[in-house]
Amino acid sequence: QSALTQPASVSGSPGQSITISCTGTSNDIGAYNYVSWYQQHPGKVPKLMIYDVTERPSGASNRFSGSKSGNTASLTISGLQAEDEADYYCCSYAGDVTPWVFGGGTKLTVL
Amino acid sequence: EVQLVESGGGLVQPGGSLRLSCAGSGFTFSKYWMHWVRQAPGKGLMWVSRIDNNGRTTTYADSVKGRFTISRDNAKSTLYLQMNNLRAEDTAVYFCARVENEFDYWGQGTLVTVSS
């Protein structure tokens, strides 16, 4: 099972919005609504930001939102803040053989 | 408060073995499937293995199949990962995680370094 495809880096200025894409296949993102997104600051533990494509856990800022179309999921961060600068990973359920696949990660830089 | 605390990492020679542990607290450990995820230095996250809540069903990534064994002791609220025949490419921080349909809680990770 190949990793999901994310852009290596994105950037934006404070207050702007950015979107990170995550492209999979009809065997993972396209087949299940179990897409989640994780924020990871350097040296820290990944933090769940979005689950079930669009749901936000308690503790995650409402500036974070998720969506999906076909085999591609997206994470949008609105009103960028300096604290949003981090690595972001998407993840999808992919069936019983290799059940979970992560994206390669996207480094977000807040200019 | 949900807590997951890994231990057991360290430096091991290629071909060697190591057993990682992950102690859970603050939740009913026996109700959840548990997973191991690793992150090589400077790289992304990679799913490694999972075990069902009863310990009867296990699944592995192709890269570790036949070398790693996941297990659990629900009486001790502890998850394990026995790693044999370790390779340089297994060098990573290993995280345990609680999973429903998402990885909602993670341990702090334990570093495994495979080197001569």
Contacts of B50 in chain A (CB under 8 A): 99-100
Grade residue A97 by pLDDT with cuts at 50, 70 and 90: confident
- Residues on chain A bordering chain B, Cβ-to-Cβ distance under 8 angstroms: 3, 34, 36, 38, 45-46, 48, 51-52, 57, 89, 91, 93, 96-105
Q: With an 8 Å Cβ cutoff, are A99 and B50 in contact? A: yes
Which residues, in sequence order, are bridge partners of residue B29?
none
Minimum-distance CB partner of B103 among A52, A91, A104: A91
Answer whether residue A104 shows pLDDT above 90: yes
| Alpha helices, H only, B5-114 | none
| Confidence at residue B48, expressed as pLDDT on a 0 to 100 scale | 97
**Torsion from C-alpha of A22, A23, A29, A30, nearest 10 degrees:** 140
- Sheet with B3-7: strands ordered across: B3-7, B18-25, B78-83, B68-73
Average of per-residue pLDDT across B35-42 = 97
| Confidence at residue A3, expressed as pLDDT on a 0 to 100 scale | 86
Q: Alpha-carbon distance B94 to B46, whole Å?
A: 10
Q: Alpha-carbon distance B26 to B20, whole Å?
A: 20
Average of per-residue pLDDT across B82-109 = 96
Answer whether residue A1 shows pLDDT above 60: no
Question: B112: distance to nearest CA of chain A, Å?
Answer: 15
Q: Which two tokens mark B77?
A: 């609220």
State the DSSP code for A55.
B
Q: With an 8 Å Cβ cutoff, are B106 and A51 in contact? A: no
Q: Which residue has the tokens 């999901």?
A: A4
Best residue in B47, B62, B94 for a mutation probing chain A (most A CBs within 10 Å): B47
Q: Alpha-carbon distance A61 to B108, whole Å?
A: 22
For A58, name the nearest residue in chain B, comparing CA atoms only.
Answer: B104
| Confidence at residue B101, expressed as pLDDT on a 0 to 100 scale | 86
Minimum-distance CB partner of B104 among A57, A102, A103: A57
| Confidence at residue A83, expressed as pLDDT on a 0 to 100 scale | 96
pLDDT in tens, A39-84: 999 999 999 999 999 999 998 999 999 999 999 999 999 999 999 9
Q: Which two tokens mark B103?
A: 């990885």
Minimum-distance CB partner of B101 among A34, A89, A96: A34
Q: Name the strand (E) or helix (H) holding B6.
A: strand B3-7
Q: What φ, ψ does residue B9 adopt, rounded to 5°?
A: -70, 170
pLDDT in tens, B44-83: 999 999 999 999 999 999 999 999 999 999 999 999 999 9
- The residue type found at A35 is V
Answer whether residue A2 shows pLDDT above 80: no
Q: With an 8 Å Cβ cutoff, are A99 and B103 in contact? A: no
| Confidence at residue A109, expressed as pLDDT on a 0 to 100 scale | 97
